[in-house]
Amino acid sequence: MTSQNPVSRSPRSAAVIGAGQTGVTAALGLLDAGFTVTLYSDRDQRSLRDDVPATGTALEFGETQQAEAALGLDSYTGRAPRHTGLSVRIAGPDNAELIAFDGTFDGYVGVAVDTRLKADERLTAFLERGGDFIVEPVTVESLDAIAAANDLTLVATGRGGLADLFPIDEQRTVYDKPQRSLLTVTVTGLDFDPGVFAHRSPAGGAHSLFSILAEQGEAWWGPYLHKDAGPSWAFLGWARPGSDWETRFAAADSAESALRIVKDLYRDYIDWDLPEVQATRVIPEDPHSWLKGAVRPVVRAGVGHTAGGHPVAALGDTAVAYDPVAGQGAQSGLIQAQRLVAAAAVHEGAFDEQWITEQYAAFLSARSDAAAKVTRLFLSDPAFADIGGQFFATAAVDPKFASALVGLLHRPQPFLPIDSPADAAAYITEVTGVDAGELLAKFAPAGRFERSTFAPATVG
């Protein structure tokens, strides 16, 4: 007969470098699992909340919310405005309006939460439960002493050259440079009722919006929970290299200028959504409610070594950096954190190179490889042009497949084995129960998308 109680032992120690939402989630999880945990950051708690922009919109779906729940953490589904679907519009060359569909999320919702809010609240819980928070920059040199003093060390930041400890996985890293220039801004001025973006979907403001313009890039609007303003909306745009959008995005230098650029963009390119966009306004109490930049999608080795030979584990963006077009970065990091905490909690041996490598390989197989592939699909990667054509055209004629297609953002694994148009057709038939060719034969270009007639309420 075996005991159900764990073997009594001295608390094991862990260090987490980086106090963004992924790092602090892992730190809090390890603390609750019985570790003594030290969390390192180059900024104090107030600065982390108020002196930096949010790192993207951090849109999360069901699998990530389940990972947070497994750690006993708030997934914010009761506090943030919910996404219940995704409305898609695709314009081809010369802005020809081709594809329109509305995919409803099946059995899950999406929530986009300000990463500064989530990290701040989890850091507060970490400190209240006895975690040690050290505010100092961690360098490659100082990491060696930290790793030597702890049983397990997780690196959730690439600052100070720490990312270079983890070699790039050349087989999994497809791109040698960023595929898009990015611009994001958080705004108020819109509600979430069915009258908002009603031309897109009967769900109105409960659905987020995704527009793809073949010659320019992609644009997304979605409900958001801002750290100060509460329920709000976020815009995230991706500009193709050499496009007019890229030039416009580069000119942003404040929240006000970013929103002005977005409004002009919708006036000139996406006028079907213009009335709602014109009604938005910036959040004056947060001058950091915008961000521009570019992300090179990179997959690194999961284990690195300090100068003294101590193994350390890559976590979150340090391990895998995704283009945010498919919303996989925040989701992937949190899922990886939960998996690492669960595995560490029951592991009896050393957290050596073999253990870290095994956990990382399992994470790549269970989530990251599929998430990276779905990201390439939504980036309109030429390697998936024929597959994407089938998928998006079918979604325009079959609501069931539209839901399955947007569901790949929640659970990307079904896309992993799809490598050819024949594979895509088989998947379409599997999902819909109808021959893929029969469905594709029904597709016709939209011709002209329905335009918004939204009029903001006025105060009498």
For residues 423 and 324, membership in a common domain is answered with no
In a domain, 456, yes or no: no
Q: What is the pLDDT of residues 316-343, one digit of tens each?
A: 999 999 999 999 999 999 999 999 999 9
3-state secondary structure of 446: coil
For residues 181 and 204, membership in a common domain is answered with yes
Contact yes or no for 30/161 (Cβ under 8 A): no
For residues 37 and 48, membership in a common domain is answered with yes
In a domain, 77, yes or no: no
Amino acid code (one letter) for 375: T
For residues 143 and 199, membership in a common domain is answered with no
Backbone dihedral angles phi then psi of residue 309, each to the nearest 5 degrees: 90, 10
Q: What is the pLDDT of residues 230-272, one digit of tens each?
A: 999 999 999 999 999 999 999 999 999 999 999 999 999 999 9
Task: Give 11's pLDDT tier (boundaries 50, 70, 90).
Answer: confident
Residue 5 has pLDDT above 70, yes or no: no
Query: 4 or 443: whose pLDDT is higher?
Result: 443
Q: Which uninterrupted H or E stretch holds 357?
A: helix 353-363
In a domain, 423, yes or no: yes
Listed in sequence order, the residues at least 6 apart from 158 whose beta carbon sits closer than 8 Å to its beta carbon are 317, 318
For residues 104 and 119, membership in a common domain is answered with no
Residue 4 has pLDDT above 80, yes or no: no
CATH assignment of the domain containing 32: 3.50.50.60
In a domain, 91, yes or no: yes
In a domain, 92, yes or no: yes
**Please, what's the b/e burial string for 153-190 (b: 16 or more CB within 10 A of its CB; e: otherwise)?**
bbbbbbebebbebbeeeeebbbeeebbbbbbbbbbbbb
**Residue 130: per-residue pLDDT:** 97
**Residue 8: per-residue pLDDT:** 41
Return the residue matching tokens 């390119």: 269
3-state secondary structure of 308: coil
Please give the average per-residue pLDDT across 348-373, as a whole number.
98
3-state secondary structure of 76: coil
Listed in sequence order, the residues at least 6 apart from 375 whose beta carbon sits closer than 8 Å to its beta carbon are 297, 322, 323, 325, 326, 328
Q: Which uninterrupted H or E stretch holds 101?
A: strand 97-104
Q: Where are the beta strands (DSSP E) in 318-420?
A: 320-321
| Angle between helical axes of 385-397 and 399-407 (0-180°, round to 10) | 130
345, 371, 397 - which closes a domain? 371
In 10 A of CB 93, how many CB atoms?
A: 9
For residues 104 and 145, membership in a common domain is answered with no
Task: Give 276's pLDDT tier (boundaries 50, 70, 90).
Answer: very high
295, 320, 341 - which closes a domain? 295
**Strand pairing report for 281-282 and 13-17:** unpaired
Contact yes or no for 225/80 (Cβ under 8 A): yes
Please give the average per-residue pLDDT across 172-199, as a whole number.
97
* CA–CA separation, 31 and 27 (whole Å): 6
Q: What is the pLDDT of residues 155-181, one digit of tens each?
A: 999 888 999 999 999 999 999 999 999
For residues 219 and 279, membership in a common domain is answered with yes
Residue 1 has pLDDT above 50, yes or no: no
Listed in sequence order, the residues at least 6 apart from 308 whose beta carbon sits closer than 8 Å to its beta carbon are 144, 147, 148
- CA torsion through residues 33, 160, 320, 359, sign: negative
3-state secondary structure of 73: coil
**Residue 196: per-residue pLDDT:** 96
For residues 335 and 436, membership in a common domain is answered with no
For residues 171 and 182, membership in a common domain is answered with no
In a domain, 349, yes or no: yes
In a domain, 1, yes or no: no
* CA–CA separation, 214 and 36 (whole Å): 51
325, 343, 371 - which closes a domain? 371
Contact yes or no for 210/88 (Cβ under 8 A): yes
**Residue 159: per-residue pLDDT:** 86
Percentages helix, strand, coil for the chain (3-state, rounded to 5) are 40, 20, 40
* Distance linking the first and last C-alpha atoms of the chain: 76
Triad 306, 312, 316: Cα angle to 5°: 125
Is the model's pTM score more than 0.75?
yes
Please give the average per-residue pLDDT across 135-145, as a whole number.
97
**Residue 349: per-residue pLDDT:** 95
- Provide the number of structural domains found in the chain: 3
In a domain, 457, yes or no: no
Backbone dihedral angles phi then psi of residue 283, each to the nearest 5 degrees: -100, 100
Q: What is the pLDDT of residues 417-458, one digit of tens each?
A: 999 999 999 999 999 999 999 999 999 999 999 999 999 865
Q: Which of 201, 208, 205, 203 is nearest to 192 (CA)?
A: 205
Please give the average per-residue pLDDT across 360-372, as a whole number.
98
For residues 277 and 425, membership in a common domain is answered with no
Q: Any alpha helices (H) in 156-284, and if so which ranges?
A: 244-250, 255-268, 274-278
The average confidence (pLDDT) of the chain is 95
Q: What percent of the chain has pLDDT over 90?
A: 95
Residue 254, domain extent: 82-112+177-295
For residues 160 and 303, membership in a common domain is answered with yes
Residue 459 has pLDDT above 70, yes or no: no
Q: What is the pLDDT of residues 66-102, one digit of tens each?
A: 999 999 999 999 999 999 999 999 999 999 999 999 9
Contact yes or no for 182/54 (Cβ under 8 A): no
**Residue 160: per-residue pLDDT:** 85
Q: What percent of the chain has pLDDT over 70?
A: 97
Residue 7 has pLDDT above 70, yes or no: no
Please give the average per-residue pLDDT across 264-291, as a whole number.
97
For residues 341 and 195, membership in a common domain is answered with no
Return the residue matching tokens 């040199």: 141
* CA–CA separation, 86 and 14 (whole Å): 40
CATH assignment of the domain containing 238: 3.30.9.40
